[in-house]
Structure 1
Amino acid sequence: MDTPTFKIAVIGNGGAGKTTFVKQAAAGAEGTYLTNLGALVTPVHLSTNMGELVFNCWDTAGQEKFGGLRDGFYVQTMGVIYMFDVTSLASYQALPEWHEDVERNTEDVPAVVIGNKADAQGRAVPADELTFHLDHELPYYELSAQDGTNLAEPFLSLAQKLTGRSDLALAP
């Protein structure tokens, strides 16, 4: 049986920690840089109680500034990870713009929101002011891509939605 594989767009402002997150979650897997799309594609494997799943994570790899060129990035996207840096109010305030990109280029794909750098000093986005995920009814996770805290949970949430299996769980 083939391993279920999903294309996931990991999006957010530069400096939010997307590349570190994907590299940490991939546990050393090598990514492939697609120069024509300005994306780094890295496979993240998730072991579940129903077998292995693979998320091909498409990271804009610093190409956020090219705006309209991102549209090709979303072709066949099956899920989205919105990421912001909890120490950067601007990265949080940009989430609606990223959401507009997703809405314009995909058809109702599952998504999660990640507040990265939860281990850092100088939080700029107070937890009680986080409303983007509530407004869009999306799961929210705080994590530290740097130290590897809480990396699997966003993927598990996406896996449950993509497979339609709410009983899907991480393998022991």
Structure 2
Amino acid sequence: MVEMKNDQMGAEANEAFDAANAEHPYLKIILLGDSAVGKSKLFERFHLDDYKEYQYSTYALTLYRHKAVLDGEERLIHFWDTAGQERFNSMHSSYYFQAHACIMVFDVLRKVTYKNLQMWHDELRQYRPEIPVLLVANKIDANPKASQMEFKMATKYNMKMYYCSASDGTNVVKVFKDAIVAAHEYKGKSTDFMDNVMEELQMMDEDADL
């Protein structure tokens, strides 16, 4: 019974990720980190007045759609959240597919969530070796001293570091706006073969709609 349930969950997860990847936003930005570090709450705070949640699966993926003006044009951006899949200590490979940037989050109240970032970073780089990563220390409202601490991982991997609070909003808008800009810049200079193929396909789709 358990095996059948797991097989069904796996099939539904594949379907959810396939459906999400079938859409072609201008940018895809993923959130990564342990369960309950506040990834979803950070996005909700960023998009507080008008956010909409599209949950393809209760355990596979939560997709948020956002629009931003880049180079004078309004562009669609997808933010992907894990919806609890990170509890299995590994993400579905489609989660990383065609991502242009990553916001990696840990909880300053739980040291283990920082230690586990190495695992998440290693897995990310298997699939997306060059995309920019922004590192977020979340929940600093509950531990203000954390904002004075240095975290070696940011220096080691040349990540931009942000001290945030999803609760009171500290630096939340900044990290998401910076992620959009970083993803946009990456897309403009990417030499990844699959990035270039997908860019051509997206342009073909846009031309077909004219």
Q: Same fold (TM over 0.5)?
A: yes
Answer yes or no: is 1:7 the counterpart of 2:28: yes
CA offset at residue 38 of structure 1? 0.5
- How many residue pairs match? The answer is 161
CA offset at residue 122 of structure 1? 8.1
Amino acid at match of 1:7: K
Higher relative contact order (CA 8 A, sep 6+): 1
CA offset at residue 154 of structure 1? 1.5
Counterpart of 2:181 in structure 1 is 160
Answer yes or no: is 1:145 the counterpart of 2:162: no
Q: 1:64 aligned to 76, 86, 93, which one?
A: 86
Q: Which has the higher helix share?
A: 2
CA RMSD across the alignment: 2.5
Deviations 1:67-87 (A, max 9, x none): 345222111111100000111
CA offset at residue 26 of structure 1? 2.0
- TM-score normalised per structure 2: 0.67
How has the CA–CA distance of structure 1 residues 75 and 36 changed in structure 2, closer, same or farther, with 3 Å as cutoff? farther
Amino acid at match of 2:95: F
- Paired with 2:172 and 2:103, the residues of 1 have a C-alpha distance of 12
Q: Name structure 1 gaps, 5 residues minimum.
A: 166-172
Answer yes or no: is 1:134 the counterpart of 2:149: no
Identical-residue share of aligned pairs (%): 24
Asked which structure has the greater CA Rg, the reply is 2
- Paired with 2:36 and 2:140, the residues of 1 have a C-alpha distance of 14
Counterpart of 1:74 in structure 2 is 96
Q: 1:44 aligned to 46, 50, 66, which one?
A: 66
CA offset at residue 105 of structure 1? 1.3
Q: Name structure 2 gaps, 5 residues minimum.
A: 1-24, 187-210
- Paired with 2:71 and 2:141, the residues of 1 have a C-alpha distance of 30
CA offset at residue 107 of structure 1? 3.5
Amino acid at match of 2:118: P
Counterpart of 2:120 in structure 1 is 98
**Structure 1 residue matching 2:149: 3-state secondary structure:** helix
CA offset at residue 5 of structure 1? 3.0
